[in-house]
Amino acid sequence: MHVVFLEPSFPRNQREFVRALREVGATVSAIGEAPVAGLDSEVKSWLAGYEQVPSVTNGEALLEAVKRIQARGWVDRLETTVEAHIMPCAWVREQCSIPGTSTRTAWLCRDKPAMKDALREAGVATAESLGTSDPAEARAFAERVGYPVILKPRDGAGAAGTFRADDADSMEAAIAGSGLGAGGGVACEEFVEGHEGFLDTLTVNGKVVHQFVSHYYPNVLEAMRERWISPQIIATNQVDQGDTYDEVKALSQRVQEVLGVETSATHMEWFFGPKGLKFSEIGCRPPGVRMWDVYAEANEIDIYREWAHLIVHGKPEQHLSRRYAAGMVALRPTQDGTIARYEGQGEMQRRFGEHLIDSHFPPPGTPTQGVEAGYHANAWVRARHESFDELKGILDWIGENVKVIAT
């Protein structure tokens, strides 16, 4: 099988998809923005061909690159795993008659109002929403559904660019901050109260083959607004124990059926609260902040190879052990500025060294990044444990006792 992979260089873990495709027997070509001389020697050794384009989100440039590859030989698949690349990649597939995620599915997994309209029509429980470029429509929506409401980019990922409005005054601030006041398009959504988590899958021909459930502590919007919080994401190892996750697993399968997901990784966010289980959003891609690496550690597999095997051979190769719960805690600097030093690292290592997967502590002198920049913006630690509750306690201790001192 000949697979063309879109963008092998950035972010860093993109190379793992190329490596895995090659390992499972695929002939791999790639398209990226870097010159071929800029690829490291190992990546180049895995590739049968490479095309450089000015931007991998430029559909026309991408189309011409794929046509050049097709002129040299048959192409079976065109694959990508980055949110911003999903839509142009789907469009090129259809132009070149290559199987894979359709433009309809890519669009519905990218445009939040359209996504939720389609799912509500199919009876899936989700928050009310509206896509608009008109501030008056947004105000009317808020008055109709009641505050709080959320304003976010129609095609955004995670909490980036997201604003919460609790009343008419904060609604005006959200309209201005989101760009809606200047004519930009946004998704307005009813605020859903409850615990927030996500379910990620590897799906083949519309059937979920592997699934992973993770929890946010606290919910994302709060985590991205408060410096004092050391937020956590924990992947449970209890996915298949009892019926705890049956409802969210059924929700994921139903959402993918409605949206037409065929063979792909997916990332689905959900809430569970007073109104029961509610769908939030889904992406036709792996999760962010390198959660796939966490799943690999938790389940003792090479997850990139498993993805590649499903793409190339259409069936699983590896068994998920479910041995560990695994997760991460993000550590925020005491203030914006420059990282001066760390406190508590040694004690963390003494207490929990056998359970630590890895960590990232930028060297002193590194400029800090804002809280809103996300879970990997500054320092972070990843760990695993056979007990979910014990792991939660480890991450709690690290978040409370390991300090990033900034000046």
pLDDT single digits (tens) 359-401: 999 999 999 999 989 999 999 999 999 999 999 999 999 999 9
Amino acid found at 210: H
Phi and psi (nearest 5°) for 119? -75, -40
Please write the tens of the pLDDT for every residue from 255-285: 999 999 999 999 999 999 998 999 999 999 9
Mean per-residue pLDDT for 299-309? 98
**Among 58, 50, 46, residue whose Cα is nearest residue 22:** 46
**Using 50, 70 and 90 to split pLDDT, how confident is the model at 159?**
low
Mean pLDDT score of the chain? 95
Structure tokens at 25: 């027997």
Please write the tens of the pLDDT for every residue from 172-217: 999 998 989 888 889 899 888 899 999 999 999 999 999 999 999 9
The DSSP bridge pattern shows strands 264-273 and 195-204 to be antiparallel
User: CA 86, CA 362: separation in Å to the nearest integer?
Assistant: 31
Residues 338, 407 contacting (CB under 8 angstroms): yes
Residue 243's pLDDT is what?
94
Whether the pLDDT of residue 158 is over 60: the answer is: no
**Using 50, 70 and 90 to split pLDDT, how confident is the model at 152?**
confident
Count of beta carbons in the 10 Å neighbourhood of residue 370: 13
Please write the tens of the pLDDT for every residue from 218-240: 999 899 889 999 999 999 999 99
Please write the tens of the pLDDT for every residue from 16-26: 999 999 999 99
Q: Angle 303-313/291-299 helices, nearest 10 degrees?
A: 100
- Residue 319 vs residue 129, higher pLDDT: 319
Residue 162's pLDDT is what?
85
Q: Is 355 helix (H, G, I), strand (E, B) or coil?
A: helix
In 109-241, which ranges are continuous DSSP H helix?
Answer: 112-121, 135-145, 168-178, 220-223
Query: Which has the minimum average pLDDT: 80-89, 122-131, 208-217, 332-341?
Result: 122-131
- Residue 59 vs residue 156, higher pLDDT: 59
Residue 129's pLDDT is what?
86
Structural domains in the chain, CATH included, are: 2-100 (3.40.50.20), 128-190 (3.30.1490.20), 195-406 (3.30.470.20)
User: CA 102, CA 109: separation in Å to the nearest integer?
Assistant: 11
Q: What is the pTM of this model?
A: 0.91
Count of beta carbons in the 10 Å neighbourhood of residue 313: 14
**Among 59, 32, 62, 58, residue whose Cα is nearest residue 44:** 32
Residues 240, 261 contacting (CB under 8 angstroms): no
The torsion defined by the Cα of 272, 273, 274 and 278, in degrees rounded to 10, comes to -40
Residues 328, 375 contacting (CB under 8 angstroms): yes
Residues 3, 311 contacting (CB under 8 angstroms): yes
Residue 117's pLDDT is what?
92
Phi-psi domain of 161 (left: phi exceeds 0; alpha: psi -120 through 50; beta: other): left
Tokens 């068994």 sit on residue: 319
Residue 143's pLDDT is what?
92
Please write the tens of the pLDDT for every residue from 67-120: 999 999 999 999 999 999 999 999 999 999 999 999 999 999 999 889 999 999
Listed in order, strand segments (DSSP E) in 191-311 are 195-204, 207-217, 232-235, 264-273, 276-283
In 300-374, which ranges are continuous DSSP H helix?
Answer: 303-313, 345-352
**C-alpha neighbours within 13 Å on the C-beta side of residue 395:** 32
